[in-house]
A and B are shown apart, each in its own frame.
Chain A
Amino acid sequence: MTYVSHLGLQLVSFFDELGRTVLFLKDILKLGIKLDVSRKSVFEQIWRVTVQSLPTTALAGFFVGAIMAVQFTLQVKEFGALGFLGGLATSGTFREVGPLLIAFMLSGKVGAFTAAELGTMQVTEQIDAIRCLGANPMKEIILPRFIGIVIASFFLLAFGLMLSVGGGVLVGIVFSNISPEEYVRHIPTVVTFPSIAGGLYKCFVFATLLATICTYKGYTTRGGAKGVGRSVVSTSVATMVGIVIADWLTSLTAEAVLMFFIRG
């Protein structure tokens, strides 16, 4: 097989998989709109994902804020504008770096766990058993996990972003020699509503993407333990790549919306 035909097959397979993922999301949303899901299962999933990922997200959020503060210190010091450090670092974290890095953390933790869990259920025939007991696996196990991951990831990302301010304040004190009051003083000036809305918009998109990919990969696992391994790896790769592409798209769309509504 030539290199070109191999590449062609890879492309066909990629778009085939992409199409199936979109159809899978459509099935989830169709069920979700009817709200035909056990609330208990959804709350269990929210709780599980939150508890599972809170320490990681908190840590990631804190250090993202700290890194941004260090980077901005080097820039703003030259212009004698250290007073704006808090505002600039927080704005950058909220709008771009925070959602991205925290989503990466969640994809490694929540995404891989969910794909492995659902994949194991698939290869040990638990999902077939659900169908044979007259229940719909999409409703019983996929929808609660999907909603749980979206809601919990959204909260976790938002929580991580708040902690990033703490990381920035600490760097402000230790590294930049400015007080916490000085650090936070210009945050309201620079971090405007569009910055926060943009960050939350990204959080929501990343969470939805993560939930879709990991539930799809887990649900469609084939081939025993090896298949579960493959699903976990492909979930990690697909979510990472997907999040980066979604970051670019959300930045573009957020900017377009901002231009249209706010700047006229």
Chain B
Amino acid sequence: MIEFQNVKKSFGDREILKGISFFVSKGEILFILGTSGTGKSVTLKNIVGLLKPSSGNIVVDGEDITQFSEDQLFAIRKKCGMVFQHPALFDSLSVFENVAFGLKRHESLSENEIRDRVHESLELVNISGIDDKLPSEISYGMQKRVSLARTIALRPAVLLFDEPTTGLDPITTNSVNQLIQDLSRKLKTTSLVVSHDMHCALKIADRIIVLDKGQIVDEGSVDEILESQSELVRDFLLEARAGGES
């Protein structure tokens, strides 16, 4: 579904991705774990063309998108919905208008169909009755859910999550993680989650990639990661156990 082939990305003199290669299969939940500043978000932004790789290739659904123009990327962005680290809701639009934003521009749906799709998407993230609220009038956790609803409203084949649980309390974190798993199963989407939360990755990931200083240091199924000898992975596992016990 998605394949990175020796992708490098630099900003000026700073090389953030140092030639990473991996693939994500259809229907899979893949976690990319790593500490801050290791290039996790840069990896995601390359998939939707918000950033361009300095070298290497990115293949999405059989198409090499590396040299795609902004117009060509529109189709890819419809296919790959991205949920940002910040909720990134449009301040001046209501919850309903936020979720309907992509639908009004992409789909030739009637007003009634848009309304139904918006409500359906909000229900999938367990939200109802806040259509007319502005983003500033709802909690941060709710904003994250609305952001997710806005992305899934377009029914993308791939969901990209950039640190979906950052800034959330433990209870909301659990519910968002559950939501990612449920949505992936219900909507049959492929999910790529960038995070530093090993505890959550162990719970819901099909496969985990560990990134450090722009390079993949380990990759495998949950069981394989649990047996990893990488020092960084051991540190993550220790942290996850400590987090799980507390």
Contacts and interface: CB of A to CB of B under 8 A. Distances in A.
A126 B77 contact: no
Contacts of B84: 125, 128-129, 132
A80 interface: no
B145 interface: no
B205 interface: no
A264 interface: no
B50 interface: yes
Interface residues of A, number: 14
Interface in B43-66: 45, 48, 50
A189 interface: no
Interface residues of B, number: 24
A129 B77 contact: no
A132 B101 contact: no
A128 B50 contact: yes
Interface string A125-141: 11011111111100000
Interface string A85-106: 0000000000000000000000
Contact of A126 (B45, B70, B81, B88): B88
B85 A125 contact: yes
Contacts of B151: 132-133
A124 interface: yes
B108 to A, nearest CB: 13
Given A125-B88, A126-B89, A126-B91, A132 B105 contact: no
Given A132-B48, A133-B150, A135-B102, A126 B90 contact: yes
Interface in A102-129: 120-121, 124-126, 128-129
A136 B84 CA distance: 18
B88 A128 contact: yes
B102 A134 contact: yes
A182 to B, nearest CB: 50
Interface of A: 120-121, 124-126, 128-136
> Which A-B residue pairs are the 4 nearest by beta carbons?
A133-B102, A129-B88, A125-B88, A125-B84
